[in-house]
Structure 1
């Protein structure tokens, strides 16, 4: 070893895991101890916390290299990255797992805590992150999986706001919906779409005349408060990604 620094860097190599290149990357950021953090929040959802989570989703999508779509529900944010748009495309932080996960958590934490009124009302929040690859054909399925969790959670939370734990014990989502309807509470009408289906931030491409798909165009981020069910509209997601 030429110097102490070179030797110290050698110790880092075994734990410096890297993601597979030219393969979809999923970043998942979750609130830490949010059950305690949100104990005084409005139920079935809190507009202030929801606004802060939406702002944090926007921030992560804007800063993560290769981000294509972000999905938020409750205290959870999922962002999917691509690095195969063209031959010059690169991974965020060279695919370094630790750097991506920690940077994503920091971006979300800072954006969330910077949202007007959030710290004064609830105090400082913190988030942790994880990152992994998935196959190309699983991109939509991954988001369907997270959205299905969103649907279940929104029904369950609304039901818990109207019934006791004992009354809901062992009940399925459909049974809880029926119980709510019997009480005059329509889940689909009572909760906004971004709570039932999740909130989405996605790339929007504007093509120049004669340009090919996702080439020579201009992209911008757009917020979608009325996202569709992904299992009924897979193209909503697949149309955003470059062909393999």
Structure 2
């Protein structure tokens, strides 16, 4: 019956890097269930970082970027012999399990993530993550905008009003309310990155009777990422 499995042998291109993008399913309903703080909830952001770190430790990617309920994972060592169905199903289910485990709170229904695979070359890595970071910025503008509108109007009216507003209009609306988005936390505007960094360790070498410097890698949670560029990814040895 093996031949009845649809696309079971479909694989990613050989010797390629891939980005795996996960998105939370129906997380708007989940946000209501969890009574998350608006426009941003720090505990939820911290939870997404914990999920990202679990993914990092399990699948050994080179870089993870997260904002809102989205996680992008850059892999150069492709698991499961490159089998697309296996990668998508296992990583998405692992993320959902990690989310539930780290949440440690009763929720109305099970959590799920969807998953898609993007084969990518080195030169397009900065473009991809800048594209997602631009989306994080748009989310930030809209999140603050709808938060202000809902403080003045019904949810239905607020949703209708924000649909007709340009980003510049929302900036003006927020500025009139005393909110300058340039001053909000960096992670709300640009997202959060997780990647390996080296830490300098100074130890004493008894044999040579002197201090000796060595380096150990650790998983770094970067809440202060710059606007993504080619130089950023070169500086952290991704490309």
TM-score, length-scaled by structure 1: 0.79
Give the 3-state SS of the residue equivalent to 1:15 in structure 2. Answer: coil
Between the aligned partners of 2:128 and 2:81, the Cα distance in structure 1 is 23
Q: Tell me, yes or no, if structure 1 residue 20 matches structure 2 residue 13.
A: yes
Q: Do the aligned partners of residues 28 and 192 (structure 1) sit closer, same or farther apart at CA in structure 2, a change above 3 Å counting?
A: same
Distance in 2, Cα, partners of 1:123 & 1:236: 39
Q: State the 1:160 CA deviation.
A: 0.5
Q: Which runs of structure 2 are paired with 1:163-242 in the superposition (5 Å)?
A: 163=149, 164-189=158-183, 191-205=184-198, 219-231=217-229, 234-241=230-237
Superposition deviation, residue 58 in structure 1 = 1.1
Partner of 1:5: none
Runs of 5+ consecutive residues of structure 2 not aligned to the other structure: 150-157, 201-214
The reply on whether 1:153 has 2:146 as its aligned counterpart is no
RMSD value over aligned CA atoms?
2.4
Alpha-carbon distance in 1 for matches of 2:59, 2:15: 16
Whole-Å separation in 2 of the counterparts to 1:223 and 1:172: 33
In the TM superposition, 1:95-110 aligns within 5 A as 95-110=82-97
Question: How many residue pairs are counted as aligned between the two chains?
Answer: 216
Name stretches of at least 5 consecutive residues in structure 1 with no aligned partner.
1-7, 84-90, 208-216
Aligned equivalents of 2:108 and 2:48: distance in 1? 13
Alpha carbons of structure 1 residues 25 and 240: separation in structure 2 relative to 1, 3 Å: farther
Contact 1:82 1:241 in 2 (8 A): no
How far did 1:93 drift? Answer: 1.3
Higher share in strand: 2
SS in 1 for 2:148: coil
Matches within 5 A, 1:78-89: 78-83=72-77
Distance 1:121 1:98, change over 3 A: closer
Partner of 1:87: none
**Equivalent of 2:38 in 39, 43, 46:** 43
Q: Is the 8 A contact 1:23 1:136 kept in 2?
A: no
- TM-aligned CA distance change 1:59 to 1:142, over 3 Å: same
SS at match of 1:16: coil
Does the 8 Å CA contact 2:141/2:167 hold for their aligned counterparts? yes
**Maintained 8 Å contact 2:95/2:113:** yes
170 and 218 in structure 1: CA distance in 2 versus 1, 3 angstrom threshold: same
Query: Does the Cα contact within 8 Å between 1:19 and 1:132 map onto a contact in 2?
Result: no
Instruction: Tell me which of 11, 27, 30 is aligned to 1:34.
Output: 27
| 1:161 alignment partner, SS class | helix
Give the Å deviation of 1:134: 1.6
